[in-house]
């Protein structure tokens, strides 16, 4: 008898593997990014389960939820992944990832029902956090956000008293170095009144568009200390160094400041003159310090012979003079 294929691939959380992969992820983020920033000023009430919905524009989207959860929320983390991708990377099951197959609506519905059970049955002691990318695939970040209809179904079936829907996005740039900086930004929770309305997709789409725009703009503006504007805090990487104070403008300085600059300039010019004089003296000494040619070496006269006899003492004096000049 042929075994029936399951509607979706369930998660199989391993705490040991989760911790190991988390430390591996930290190493990977540190190697590939100059800094990682997060704006997590929005926090759900304690004990509340959360459905995080994000834009899917980067390969790193598979690891960002793990970093977010450990840095800010500490929830019982789960995530939804396309079935083909999960079959390709089955180890994600041990991190709390389960599949969804959008090609088969009945199978996709089983995944959504499982999501609702996880969120609604969450306890205050162990609240659940589920990360989902309702765009369903990697999308060009410059194109408009387009969401799948599964999010609307989820919003109608989750308990608004137990669950929050929080949008998030990410952006990276290389404005300050060859290694990029990663920015993660969370938006305000979606109001419970939106859950049951027929405009939830339009509302979440608009929210994600504005959040992505805000993340791009604020991540490129830095204050005097090198921190990005918009509520970001440093998650990974070294603290940015404050830029050095600019040199004073001589035209704007008065009194002691200008005297100090003039004194420095005169000292430097005096050093240059001293150096130039020493160099010229050394050059003169080298050119003027020539050995006297021995006299009478080619003269066969007696005077030449006398000069030859006196030559050794003259050479000794000349040699001593040369040694002294050297």
67 and 204 share one domain? yes
Residue 19 has pLDDT above 90, yes or no: yes
Helix H or strand E encompassing 185? strand 181-186
The region, left, alpha or beta by phi > 0 then psi within -120 to 50, assigned to residue 173 is beta
Residue 257 has pLDDT above 70, yes or no: no
Q: Provide the pLDDT confidence category of residue 78 given band limits of 50, 70 and 90.
A: very high
Looking at the domain assignment, is residue 34 inside a domain?
A: yes
Q: Provide the pLDDT confidence category of residue 97 given band limits of 50, 70 and 90.
A: very high
147 and 230 share one domain? yes
How high is the pLDDT of residue 231?
85
212 and 64 share one domain? yes
pLDDT tens digits, one per residue of 282-291: 444 444 444 4
DSSP at 173: E
How high is the pLDDT of residue 248?
60
Count of CA atoms in the C-beta half-sphere (13 A) of 294: 17
312 and 168 share one domain? no
How high is the pLDDT of residue 124?
87
Structural domain span for residue 39: 15-236
How high is the pLDDT of residue 168?
95
Domain boundary among 193, 216, 236: 236
Between residues 223 and 191, the one the model is more confident about: 223
pLDDT tens digits, one per residue of 282-316: 444 444 444 444 444 444 444 444 444 444 444 34
148 and 79 share one domain? yes
215 and 304 share one domain? no
The percentage of the chain sitting over the pLDDT mark of 70, rounded to a whole number, equals 71
Looking at the domain assignment, is residue 155 inside a domain?
A: yes
Domain boundary among 184, 214, 236: 236
199 and 310 share one domain? no
pTM of full prediction above 0.85: no
Q: What share of the chain is helix, strand, coil (3-state, %, to 5)?
A: 45, 15, 40
179 and 300 share one domain? no
The region, left, alpha or beta by phi > 0 then psi within -120 to 50, assigned to residue 119 is alpha
Phi then psi dihedrals of residue 310, to 5 deg: -85, -5
- DSSP line for 65-124: HHHHIIIII--EEEEEEEHHHHHHSGGGGGGTEEEE-TTSHHHHHHHHHHHHHHHHT--S
Starting at the edge strand that comes first in sequence, how are the strands of the sheet with 163-173 ordered?
97-100, 76-82, 128-132, 49-54, 163-173, 181-186, 35-39, 233-236
Q: What is the mean pLDDT of residues 27-34?
A: 94
CA 46 to the chain's CA centroid = 30
Between residues 111 and 311, the one the model is more confident about: 111
Looking at the domain assignment, is residue 272 inside a domain?
A: no
Closest CA to 325 of 270, 299, 298, 286: 286
Domain boundary among 216, 236, 256: 236
Spatial neighbors of 238 by CB under 8 A, at least 6 apart, are 35
Q: How far is CA 313 from CA 306, 307, 308, in A?
A: 12, 11, 10
pLDDT tens digits, one per residue of 242-255: 555 555 665 655 55
186 strand-pairing partners: 168
Q: Provide the pLDDT confidence category of residue 322 given band limits of 50, 70 and 90.
A: very low
126 and 228 share one domain? yes
CB 111 within 8 A of CB 130: no
Q: What is the mean pLDDT of residues 178-207?
A: 85
300 and 201 share one domain? no
How high is the pLDDT of residue 146?
87
Count the domains in the chain: 2
Q: Provide the pLDDT confidence category of residue 260 given band limits of 50, 70 and 90.
A: low
How high is the pLDDT of residue 4?
66
Looking at the domain assignment, is residue 83 inside a domain?
A: yes
- DSSP line for 127-170: -EEEEE-TT-S---TTSPP---THHHHHHHHS-TTTEEEEEEEE
How high is the pLDDT of residue 2?
57
pLDDT tens digits, one per residue of 263-276: 555 555 555 455 55
Q: What is the mean pLDDT of residues 5-23?
A: 92
Looking at the domain assignment, is residue 290 inside a domain?
A: no
The percentage of the chain sitting over the pLDDT mark of 90, rounded to a whole number, equals 44
36 strand-pairing partners: 182, 236
187 and 305 share one domain? no
Looking at the domain assignment, is residue 51 inside a domain?
A: yes
Looking at the domain assignment, is residue 258 inside a domain?
A: no
What value does the mean pLDDT of the chain take?
Answer: 79
40 and 128 share one domain? yes
CB 82 within 8 A of CB 61: no
CA 250 to the chain's CA centroid = 38
Looking at the domain assignment, is residue 9 inside a domain?
A: no
How high is the pLDDT of residue 15?
94
């Amino acid at each position: 008898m042929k075994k029936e294929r399951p509607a979706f691939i369930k998660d199989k959380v391993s705490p040991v593997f989760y911790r190991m992969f988390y430390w591996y992820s930290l190493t990977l983020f540190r190697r590939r990014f100059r800094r990682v920033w997060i704006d997590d000023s929005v926090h759900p009430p304690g004990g509340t389960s959360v459905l995080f919905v994000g834009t899917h524009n980067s390969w790193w989207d598979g690891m960002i939820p793990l970093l977010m959860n450990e840095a800010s929320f500490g929830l019982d983390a789960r995530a939804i992944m396309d079935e083909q991708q999960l079959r390709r990377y089955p180890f994600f099951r041990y991190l709390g990832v389960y599949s969804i197959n959008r090609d088969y609506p009945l199978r996709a519905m089983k995944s959504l029902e499982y999501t609702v059970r996880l969120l609604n049955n969450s306890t205050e002691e162990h609240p659940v956090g589920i990360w989902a990318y309702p765009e369903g695939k990697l999308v060009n970040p410059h194109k408009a956000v387009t969401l799948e209809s599964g999010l609307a179904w989820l919003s109608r079936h989750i308990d608004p008293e137990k669950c929050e829907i929080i949008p998030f996005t990410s952006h990276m740039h290389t404005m300050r170095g060859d290694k990029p900086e990663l920015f993660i930004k969370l938006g305000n929770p979606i109001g419970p009144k939106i859950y049951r309305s027929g405009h939830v997709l339009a509302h979440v789409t608009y929210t994600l568009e504005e959040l992505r725009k805000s993340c791009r703009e604020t991540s490129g503006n830095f204050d005097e200390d090198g921190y990005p504007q918009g509520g970001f805090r440093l998650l990974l990487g070294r603290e940015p160094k404050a830029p050095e104070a600019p040199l004073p403008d001589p035209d704007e300085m008065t009194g002691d400041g200008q005297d100090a600059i003039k004194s420095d300039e005169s000292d430097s010019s005096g050093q240059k003159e001293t150096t130039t004089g020493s160099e010229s003296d050394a050059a003169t000494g080298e050119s003027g310090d020539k050995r006297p040619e021995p006299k009478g070496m080619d003269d066969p006269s007696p005077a030449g012979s006398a000069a030859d006899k006196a030559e050794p003492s003259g050479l000794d004096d000349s040699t001593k003079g040369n040694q002294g000049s050297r």
